[in-house]
Every structure is written in structure tokens, then in C-alpha cells.
Amino acid sequence: MLVVAAFVVVIHLLGRQPKAPSLRQRKTSDIKDVEDEIISERHVGELISADDIYQGIYEKDGVYYALARLSGTNFSVMPGPDQDARESTLIEILGQVDYPVQFITTTVVSDTTEAARKIAERAAGITDNPRLQSYCFLYAGALQQMKLERKVLAQQSWMVLSSHGIEGKNTDPVEKLRERMTLLAANLRDKARIFITPVVRSEEVMDALQQIVLPEAIVKPSERALAGVTEPIHFMEGEMQRVQKAG
């Protein structure tokens, strides 16, 4: 009897299926694998594609890119029929495009610095009403604090055109990009009421790339460059002297 009982127990154990990991465990494992892959294989150079920037055009590995801001249409507040008609127009316009076009939308921190500066300037000129002057200064300070605390966000959309520079021996890729941008901007404006503002200055390109890759950043690369910060790590002379004295 003992032998028979032992044989039955062995058969039962062998017939049991191994316990499959739960859906939650599988998802966690998959996410961990993806995170490891991203951390080990992605590099910042793959995200910020710019070897050279000149007059609003940036180049990476022989490919030239032009950036433009999109504005003028908010599909979320349009009636259904109008939205369908506008989308059909967009499909028609983009269906005629035979070159690469990318659209990027991101949420960025609104820059309230300029508004705060103008209010502070007007407040400085108010001499006959101290209470109003004090209110304006407080208002300007509150606007600046909103930016620092990232309280005001805005949606920003971009269009990116590219040219490989191999479409013709005598074709200037930069001029080709500008020609494409002009024609596409006219079509989108006249037919779809979408307005395009090309990025034409190098500092605007740097700021745009940061808004796309690091939308939560509040200090623009152009502002850092004007302040003399041109390297990823910047040491202030006064701070270095203080550290040396302390050491």
C-alpha cells in the first residue's frame, strides 16, 4: 500500500503544471526589460540631432532640417462637421507632399518673463499712485514665480522638414528647404487656416530643440549663452575662489 501511495503522489506531482507568472508580474518584467534597453542603448545625441546650426537650419549626418511653429487651429473646440472638413483638407494637402514631414506636439512651461518685465517697467513709471505701483510690482513678481514653479503650461506644436542634399548636384539643400517651407506654409494657411512661423535664427533652433526634448526646462539655451554659459558644466569664478579659500 505504501508503494502504491508513493507512486500516486509522484504521478500527481509530475502532472502538475508549473505556476505561470501573474499578469502583473509579466507586465512588471516587460517594463523592466524595456527600461533596461532604453537606459543601455539610448544616447542624448540620438535625441538632439544637430551637428551644425546656421540661420535657422540645422544639420545632422548630412541631412538638413528646418523647424516651424504651428498655430491658428484648435480642433478640440470646432464643431464636428467643421473638424471633418478641416481634416480632409489637411489630408489632401499632405497627400501631395513627396518629401519627409514630421509633426511634434509637446507641453511646455509658459515663459512669463517678458510679461513680468513689461509690467515692472510700467510700475516703475507710476509715481502718483503708490498702491497701484505696489500692486503692479507684486503682479510682476507673481508672474515670474509662476514660471519658476511651472504653474502655467501650454501646448506647442512643431513641423519639421528635411532634405538629404542629394536631390540634385546643383541643388542647395538649405534653399530647397526654405522653398518647401514657403510653399507648404502658403497651402496650410490658405486652405486649412493653419499658420506656420518658420524658425529663422540659430538661437531659436536651440531653444526649440530643448522644448521638444526637455519641455520642463525653464532656462533657455539662448539665455545661458548670453550669460556666458557655453559648456554643460560651468564654474563661476567667485564660487571657485570661495571654495579655494575654504579648502
174 and 134 both lie in a single domain: no
Helix axes 113-124, 130-148, angle to 10 degrees: 160
Backbone angles phi, psi at 52, to 5 degrees: -150, 145
Please indicate, yes or no, whether residues 91 and 133 belong to a single structural domain of this protein.
no
What tens-digit pLDDT sequence spans the chain (247 residues)?
444 444 444 444 444 444 444 444 444 444 445 444 444 444 444 445 566 777 778 887 778 888 888 886 667 777 888 888 888 888 888 888 888 888 888 888 888 888 899 999 999 998 889 899 999 999 999 988 888 888 888 888 888 888 876 555 567 778 888 888 889 889 888 888 888 888 888 778 888 887 887 777 777 777 776 666 555 555 556 666 676 676 6
Note whether residue 14 is domain-resident: no
Q: For residue 133, what are the domain limits?
A: 111-151
Nearest CA among 105, 103, 79, 77 for reference residue 90: 103
- Per-residue cell: 63: 541631412
Distance in angstroms (rounded) separating the CA atoms of residues 105 and 242: 44
Question: Does 127 lie in the same domain as 58?
Answer: no
91 and 119 together in one domain: no
Q: How many domains does the chain have?
A: 2
CA distance 52 to 188: 29
Task: List Cα–Cα distances, 227 to 114, 117, 161, 230, 231, in angstroms.
Answer: 17, 18, 31, 9, 12
Same domain, 53 and 115: no
